[in-house]
Amino acid sequence: MTPRSPGPSCRRAVTPGQSSWMRFFSLFCPSIQADVILLVTCSIREKAEQAIWNRLRHLSALKARRQQQAGSPLRIGILGCMAERLKEEILHREKLVDIVAGPDAYRDLPRLLAVAESGQQAANVLLSLDETYADILPVQTSAGGTTAFVSIMRGCDNMCSYCIVPFTRGRERSRPIASILQEVRMLSDQGVKEVTLLGQNVNSFRDMSEVQFQSAAAPGLSRGFSTVYRAKPGGLRFAHLLDQVSRIDPEMRIRFTSPHPKDFPDEVLQLIQERHNICKQLHLPAQSGSTRVLEAMRRGYTREAYLELVHHVRDSIPGVSLSSDFIAGFCGETEEDHQQTVSLLQDVRYNVGFLFAYSMRETRAFHRLQDDVPAEVKQRRLQELIAVFREEAARANEAMVGQCQLVLVEGPSKRSALELCGRNDGNIKVIFPDAEVEDAAGCQALARAQPGDYVLVKVTSASSQTLRGVPLRRTTLSRSAACH
């Protein structure tokens, strides 16, 4: 098993869909062949935890059936943030759970499983100051996959007042750069064409693993941004990592998520602009458009500073695609605050959005603020934000009609075997007919594009989430960059 996150699990774009673990269960549960079922959990909102409690109820029946049918027990483990947060409750309330392992305890799983084998409950929820799983390379489950995630740092020191992450994931720590580069090289050798660097605060990356890194100069924060912690001196920073990673394979696209808007010094923006294989796509989580609410959230910036950053990013990286996170109905949010968020969505016009209703967690806001926006008001505001976001995203995407976009093909489209699906540089889904196309070099016969190919697609229509177009030719990332 791999301790790496298969992707950012705490955030899903405003498209509804079946969760990956639901699919996992519909595949595995009918036959009950597994000896051990491990649930990787998320605590960021109450709904995510509720889903796990419901799932445990179903597993209880499965466990009994397995014992009856096969005579051997089915072991059940809860892993990740919910295990960290609710160890006692899980063990006592759900007697069927055999293993509870927090996000920093995955190395201990063999021992925990051995304890569980002996019929006892086993738990480890110790958080670590230095665990990055640097020496454990994940097993790629999809052979021939075109995209992969690479974890580069863990934890968060920001302490936004609504957020449970600093408590479940612990302090910020970065994986040594050498081990990240080794993993990206390995992925490149396997033919992976797109790597997303992952971390709770990916652009706060700060590798202190070697003595000589400790005296490196520290970059400043984005203008108008502050932190709750004192400036951290030294360490190899995100710009250095991005530079090194992007040099490994000129045919490999590089993305990263999730960044914090405070850590975008000019050298990072410049690098993104200059390198043809670093995608011109930034996630800039705003959370609210109201300075008053941002202060209550302890985000460390005002609406004006955030907007200034957006303008600076757009000036530095022309054509950049932007995405963001927003929370509707945070403690004390008035109708006026909500309207400020609506207007921020209109002003910025994001291409992708992740929008949530505030869900109270045991955080600073729980202890010091009142969750005083009624549930139905939160929902109404959330729906309004989603509607405005969609309208603006549709406009932003419509502006691409008639343009050529470079698409990395991922495979057949879900809706039709006659169409291919991939993503453009801005991470927007592009659908086009699976037809024979020529190679840009002009020396190869017509052929159909395969997963992992780059195809130049002329966009013919757009919605808030998808572009559609016609394929012009197969090409390469380097060749396409040279044409611009």
**What strands lie across the sheet with 194-198, from one edge to the other?**
147-151, 194-198, 253-257
CB of 355 vs ligand 5AD, minimal distance in Å: 8
Pinpoint the alpha helices (H) of 254-334.
266-274, 291-297, 303-316
Q: Does 42 bind ligand SF4 (CB under 6 A)?
A: no
Q: Which residues lie below 8 Å from residue 406, measured CB to CB, with a gap of 6+?
A: 424, 425, 454, 455, 456, 457, 475, 477, 480
CB of 466 vs ligand SF4, minimal distance in Å: 28
Please report, as ranges, the residues that interact with ligand 5AD according to CB under 6 A. 10-11, 44-45, 162-163, 285, 287, 325, 327, 356, 358-359, 361
CB of 34 vs ligand 5AD, minimal distance in Å: 30
Look at residues 370, 284, 280, 351 and name the one whose alpha carbon lies nearest to residue 316: 280
Q: Does 396 bind ligand SF4 (CB under 6 A)?
A: no
Q: Please, what sign has the CA dihedral across residues 81, 84, 85, 88? A: positive
DSSP state of 482: H
Considering CB distances under 5 to 8 angstroms, the limit depending on partner class, which of ligand 5AD, ligand SF4, none binds residue 166?
ligand SF4
103, 138, 166, 235: which one binds ligand SF4 (CB under 6 A)? 166
Considering CB distances under 5 to 8 angstroms, the limit depending on partner class, which of ligand 5AD, ligand SF4, none binds residue 200?
ligand SF4
- Name which of 40 and 156 has its Cβ closer to ligand SF4: 156
97, 105, 160, 355: which one binds ligand SF4 (CB under 6 A)? 160
Of residues 76 through 135, those in contact with ligand SF4 by CB under 6 A are none
**Residue 391: count of CB within 10 angstroms of its CB:** 14
Look at residues 358, 381, 377 and name the one whose alpha carbon lies nearest to residue 44: 358
- Tokens matching residue 412: 């057949």
Q: Does 156 bind ligand SF4 (CB under 6 A)?
A: yes
- Name which of 81 and 116 has its Cβ closer to ligand 5AD: 81
55, 66, 255, 260: which one binds ligand SF4 (CB under 6 A)? 260
CA-to-CA distance for 452 and 454, rounded, in angstroms?
A: 7
- Tokens matching residue 222: 């984005």
- Name which of 147 and 200 has its Cβ closer to ligand SF4: 200
Considering CB distances under 5 to 8 angstroms, the limit depending on partner class, which of ligand 5AD, ligand SF4, none binds residue 112?
none
**Whole-Å CA distances, 47 to 10, 52, 60, 77, 431:** 11, 9, 20, 20, 32
CB of 379 vs ligand 5AD, minimal distance in Å: 13
158, 179, 209, 405: which one binds ligand SF4 (CB under 6 A)? 158
Where does this chain bind ligand SF4 (CB under 6 A)?
Answer: 156, 158-160, 163, 165-166, 200-201, 260
